[in-house]
Amino acid sequence: MILGNSFIGNQQKGDGSLQFKTFNPSLNKDNEWSFIEVTALELSEATELASQAFKIYRNISDDKRAGFLEEIAFEIDSLGDYLIQVYCQESGLSRDRAIAEKDRTLFQITSLATFIRSDWRELTKEDAEPDRLPKPKPKLEKTYLPLGPVAVFGSSNFPLAYSTGGGDTASALAVGCPVIVKSHPMHAGTGELVASAIIKAAIKTGMPNGVFSNLNSAGIQLGIDLVKNPNIKAVGFTGSIKAGRAIFDIANSRTEPIPVFAEMGSVNPVVISPNSLENEADHWAAQYADSITQGNGQFCTCPGLILGLESNHLKKFSSLLAEKIMQVKPQLMLHPNIHSAYVRLGSEAKNSENVFELTPSMNLDSNYAGQTILSVKGKQFLSNVNLHNEVFGPFSIIVSCADQEELLSVINSLEGQLTGTVIFDQTEKNDFEPIIEELKYKVGRLIFNGVPTGVESSPAMNHGGPYPASSDSRFTAVGVQSIRRWIRPICYQNRH
Amino acid sequence: MILGNSFIGNQQKGDGSLQFKTFNPSLNKDNEWSFIEVTALELSEATELASQAFKIYRNISDDKRAGFLEEIAFEIDSLGDYLIQVYCQESGLSRDRAIAEKDRTLFQITSLATFIRSDWRELTKEDAEPDRLPKPKPKLEKTYLPLGPVAVFGSSNFPLAYSTGGGDTASALAVGCPVIVKSHPMHAGTGELVASAIIKAAIKTGMPNGVFSNLNSAGIQLGIDLVKNPNIKAVGFTGSIKAGRAIFDIANSRTEPIPVFAEMGSVNPVVISPNSLENEADHWAAQYADSITQGNGQFCTCPGLILGLESNHLKKFSSLLAEKIMQVKPQLMLHPNIHSAYVRLGSEAKNSENVFELTPSMNLDSNYAGQTILSVKGKQFLSNVNLHNEVFGPFSIIVSCADQEELLSVINSLEGQLTGTVIFDQTEKNDFEPIIEELKYKVGRLIFNGVPTGVESSPAMNHGGPYPASSDSRFTAVGVQSIRRWIRPICYQNRH
């Protein structure tokens, strides 16, 4: 049952007087549950508990922490169909999607459990050389320590996989960092259920009180106070550039600055070759109609920009894409705020000078979003930086470039991206070399002849990228190496 | 011959009208050479060249870059005795020290060359699984890319090893990042010679013009402009907390924030046990008199704080240390600014309430610094945070703690440190467990029964630590893993 309380460590608390509700996009009305805004005192208790818990938790063995993670996965799974129902009620997403995302979440947690049972610290040992000249060499051992309590801000678009019990939480807990989640107010019920599962697992496996807290808040002040709190030693964030940058700035302006890994915006450019347009237009139009509408375009890897050389084939592909994407049944947006942002930013883009709309406008019920494909010439795209911004939803702009040089300029004009995609055949390899060279320094992942949606959770994955795709391109948010964000080296010299 | 110009890529330029000189502490007067303050135009040219050079340099093979590094080492070595003379003239340090530091610098460069001929990218490959359900798995390959041009601010206290051709420059060049050094104005002549060696090596091995620049400036504006320049993609810094933090703040307030690795201040606490004080006071007093005066205390790992439990043995050790340190011949400070800061901060500490001076004050010629050992009780140390600050020079405070609890409070009250040291015998292991546990979360390196000075340049070393020892404890400034500061992962999906 959802009570609307925060978890301050193992204890449910809701002393605040302010309340908020989540929204059901399918029914176009608020859900029944009320959530109680966490108080400043409760926040302070949670961070103090986390700091105390850290002293114990950091010394719990890898094997026991792995057991804790596995128990979390078990307890989330044990929430059963109720979790799926609440997820759907708070997101407007389908049951299939909810179940697939839950499975992904469990997989992420259990793969981290397996990983931390391995030699993840990569212990580097060097023997003493007492007879070395001019000076003896000491014995050295390099290992890693957890940074301390981590604040996690989950995303709105993955209520399970990148939220309360998602990758940031699991990777921090895996290496010995307590976690305080600021629950996403758009799916606070889903968050409460997952939090209750984590707390159950913590108690069952004997983890210290405070290893995990879950704070309810619909405002922004709590997030600011959380990041400023001296007990917090790192931050994980998934969301918009604006919010991510604000958190990054707060963290860096602390007396003791702390690392922030913020996974933010991306338009995920795709470059499609003349031969692909000529010979495989149908195939790629179908693939991209599907990719752009995955999760109703509310994926951070949604391909929002498709670049090609001006030609009749590009025109034909553009029409095909527009046609195929219109065959997809319009879906609900996650929340009225995301819906209205989509409508507003989409309209601004559509109404820009020299931009053409290839998809007919649709007359839709509230909370539904119409798919949108726009087209613009390279020159115009270059001169209008507003078109470079992400429009979060089932939306993509096709940029028709006069020549290869202009295409390279367009790539060069883009900010950092989570992904880039190139589509070409072997005979075009030489032409694509400079494109790949330009693109790979802009992106965290480069896809060949595919679509950017679908992020494998595995060691070879990288989910991040040059700013503003992420706040620090040297780390990944996905895969077991995501733990690197929360640990630091220490060298023991002549330890006996 | 030293001309006082900057290197804007391969070209020497000195169009500016402002000049400055370096200082000879031994002769207590300026050196003969004049250095020309770089102009804004020259800075802009250097960053533009670096950005262009990056496009070529990033694709040069590991083997060729390694060859470039080896050639740099050869060319620095070929500067011969002139480099040693200039080094001594600009630092007041001894010939022996100059030669040892040169050898260390060459070793750092050549070990990085060896390292990048190995599998440093740790390529992670995963095969495609086309039949996987519910979705096929793509082929994934994770590797690393260089970030781009790096700005390097060298230290004043290591004119070779942590400066123009030091660890930051060598590690950035090793992985494919061009480097722009803001030459340290206190050893601009040494910097010019090393820069000329790097440029010679770059030309000889066919590296692109702009892969390295060396800028002369005695002011702070150039540093600000350099860090703000959009062509710069990362910063390496070694120096004071004040300057390091300023650079960190500038880098983070850019439209596109960039990573800064700043290695800053540290007092390097040492905890010495009752048994060690009772049985080995002579030994440790001698070791610490030597360690505190290494490089005249102008080492970032100088032990500035010695903690012990109140006892007659601690008193005896304190007297012995004061006595032995007075047997060391007073040495020159690097520069009048460092000298005057030492005198000022040292006096402030000495004149603090309840602080006792164990060393007699000395009547010294200008630029010489007298060794200073102070003593204070734990309670007083805890209540006076000014005593927690680094006094750069041959200076250490002995803190006498009432009991173990107070000693733990003192450790807990400290900021992040490069190193911490524990000295105890096996029978005291249990008592030292909580001390080690507290200390290890404060430091980047923990030394057992030794001294903190002497930083091995090897893979198991860590030189960094929690803020403010460094701006990001997740990286090291020393050892081959120092390259991690300048690279980021990229994943290729289904690359063909």
Strands A29-30 and A23-24: antiparallel
Contacts of B140 in chain A (CB under 8 A): 456, 458, 460-461
What are the Cα distances from residue A110, in Å, to A28, A73, A408, A487? 36, 7, 42, 19
The answer to whether residue B459 sits within a structural domain is no
Is B263 marked active-site? yes
B487 touches chain A (CB under 8 A): yes
Whether residue A422 sits in one domain with residue A298:
yes
Q: How far is Cα A360 from Cα B395, in angstroms, rounded to an integer?
A: 77
A434 touches chain B (CB under 8 A): no
CB-CB under 8 Å, B490 with A446: yes
Q: How far is Cα A9 from Cα A196, in angstroms, rounded to an integer?
A: 10
Provide the CATH number for the domain around residue B95. Answer: 3.40.605.10
Q: How far is Cα A482 from Cα A464, in angstroms, rounded to an integer?
A: 10
A190 touches chain B (CB under 8 A): no
A286-331, pLDDT tens digit by residue? Answer: 999 999 999 999 999 999 999 999 999 999 999 999 999 999 999 9
Interhelix angle A429-440/A404-413, rounded to 10 degrees, is 20
Closest Cα of chain A to B342: distance in Å? 25
B438 touches chain A (CB under 8 A): no
Whether residue B252 sits in one domain with residue B170:
yes
E strand residue ranges, B223-335:
234-238, 260-263, 269-272, 305-309, 331-332
Contacts of A126 in chain B (CB under 8 A): 456, 458-460
Say which DSSP state A351 is in. Answer: T
Minimal CA–CA distance to B396: which of B293, B473, B323, B272?
Answer: B293
Helix/strand number for chain A, H first, E second: 15, 23
Q: Is A201 helix (H, G, I), strand (E, B) or coil?
A: helix
Q: In the predicted model, what is the mean pLDDT of residues B268-283? A: 98
The answer to whether residue B465 sits within a structural domain is no
Q: Using 50, 70 and 90 to split pLDDT, how confident is the model at B1?
A: confident
pLDDT for residue B103 = 97
What are the Cα distances from residue A301, in Å, to A264, A453, A457, B309? 11, 5, 14, 59
Q: Average pLDDT, whole number, for chain B?
A: 97
Q: How far is Cα A104 from Cα A107, in angstroms, rounded to an integer?
A: 5
Strands A234-238 and A260-263: parallel
**H-helix or E-strand spanning residue A43:** helix A40-57
Q: In the predicted model, what is the mean pLDDT of residues B153-182? A: 97
pLDDT for residue B188 = 98
CB burial string A59-97: b at 16+ within 10 A, e below? ebebeebbbbbbbbbbbbeebeeebbebbbbbbbbeeeb
Q: How far is Cα B235 from Cα B244, in angstroms, rounded to an integer?
A: 10
| CB-CB contact of A92 with A110 (8 Å) | no
Q: Using 50, 70 and 90 to split pLDDT, how confident is the model at B362?
A: confident
What range defines the domain where residue A336 resides? 269-448
Q: In the predicted model, what is the mean pLDDT of residues B312-325? A: 98
Rounded to two decimals, the ipTM of the complex is 0.97
A231-286, pLDDT tens digit by residue? Answer: 999 999 999 999 999 999 999 999 999 999 999 989 999 999 999 999 999 999 99
CB-CB under 8 Å, A138 with B489: no
Whether residue B389 sits in one domain with residue B318:
yes
Strands B150-153 and B179-182: parallel
A363-394, pLDDT tens digit by residue? Answer: 888 899 999 999 999 999 999 999 999 999 99
Strands of the B234-238 sheet, one edge to the other: B11-13, B6-8, B212-215, B179-182, B150-153, B234-238, B260-263
B141 touches chain A (CB under 8 A): yes
Residues of chain A with pLDDT under 70: none
> What is the torsional sign of CA B469, B474, B475, B479?
positive
Contacts of B445 in chain A (CB under 8 A): 490-493
Q: How far is Cα A338 from Cα A24, in angstroms, rounded to an integer?
A: 13
Q: Is the pLDDT at B223 greater than 90, yes or no?
A: yes
**Total domains, chain B:** 2
The answer to whether residue A51 sits within a structural domain is yes
| CB-CB contact of B451 with B272 (8 Å) | no
| Model confidence, pTM | 0.97
Marked catalytic residue, from B88, B300, B302, B401: B300
B254 touches chain A (CB under 8 A): no
A131 touches chain B (CB under 8 A): no
The answer to whether residue B157 sits within a structural domain is yes
B29-52, pLDDT tens digit by residue? Answer: 999 999 999 999 999 999 999 999
Whether residue A366 sits in one domain with residue A277:
yes
Whether residue A365 sits in one domain with residue A249:
no
Using CB atoms, pick whichever of B248, B466, B490 lies closest to residue A440: B490
CB-CB under 8 Å, B259 with A447: no
Among all residues of chain B, which has the CA nearest to that of A418? B490
Whether residue A379 sits in one domain with residue A236:
no
Closest Cα of chain A to B23: distance in Å? 31
Whether residue A136 sits in one domain with residue A191:
yes
The answer to whether residue B329 sits within a structural domain is yes
Q: How far is Cα B261 from Cα B249, in angstroms, rounded to an integer?
A: 12
Q: How far is Cα B321 from Cα B312, in angstroms, rounded to an integer?
A: 14
Marked catalytic residue, from A42, A192, A263, A415: A263
pLDDT for residue A363 = 86
Marked catalytic residue, from B37, B45, B192, B263: B263
Whether residue B397 sits in one domain with residue B286:
yes
Provide the CATH number for the domain around residue B442. Answer: 3.40.309.10
| CB-CB contact of A378 with A406 (8 Å) | yes
Whether residue B179 sits in one domain with residue B118:
yes
Q: In the predicted model, what is the mean pLDDT of residues B147-169? A: 97
Q: How far is Cα B179 from Cα B233, in angstroms, rounded to an integer?
A: 10
Whether residue B293 sits in one domain with residue B251:
no
Is A438 marked active-site? no
Q: Any alpha helices (H) in A156-310, and if so which ranges?
A: 167-174, 188-204, 221-228, 241-252, 274-279, 281-293
> What is the torsional sign of CA A81, A84, A90, A93?
negative
Contacts of A460 in chain B (CB under 8 A): 124-126, 140-142, 491
Q: In the predicted model, what is the mean pLDDT of residues B398-412? A: 98
Burial status of residue B78 (CB atoms within 10 A of its CB: 0-12, 13-18, 19 or more): exposed
The answer to whether residue B460 sits within a structural domain is no
The answer to whether residue A462 sits within a structural domain is no
Whether residue A438 sits in one domain with residue A302:
yes
B219 touches chain A (CB under 8 A): no
Whether residue A434 sits in one domain with residue A401:
yes
Helix/strand number for chain B, H first, E second: 15, 23
* Percentage with pLDDT > 70 across chain B: 100
CB-CB under 8 Å, A494 with B447: yes
Q: Any alpha helices (H) in A79-117, and if so which ranges?
A: 80-91, 95-116
Q: How far does CA B153 lie from the centroid of its chain?
A: 10
**H-helix or E-strand spanning residue A234:** strand A234-238
The answer to whether residue A460 sits within a structural domain is no
pLDDT for residue B203 = 98
Strands A372-377 and A356-357: antiparallel
B428 touches chain A (CB under 8 A): no
pLDDT for residue A280 = 98
Using CB atoms, pick whichever of A58, A259, A491 lies closest to residue B474: A259
Q: Is the pLDDT at B363 greater than 90, yes or no?
A: no
Q: Is the pLDDT at B134 greater than 90, yes or no?
A: no
Q: Using 50, 70 and 90 to split pLDDT, how confident is the model at B361?
A: confident
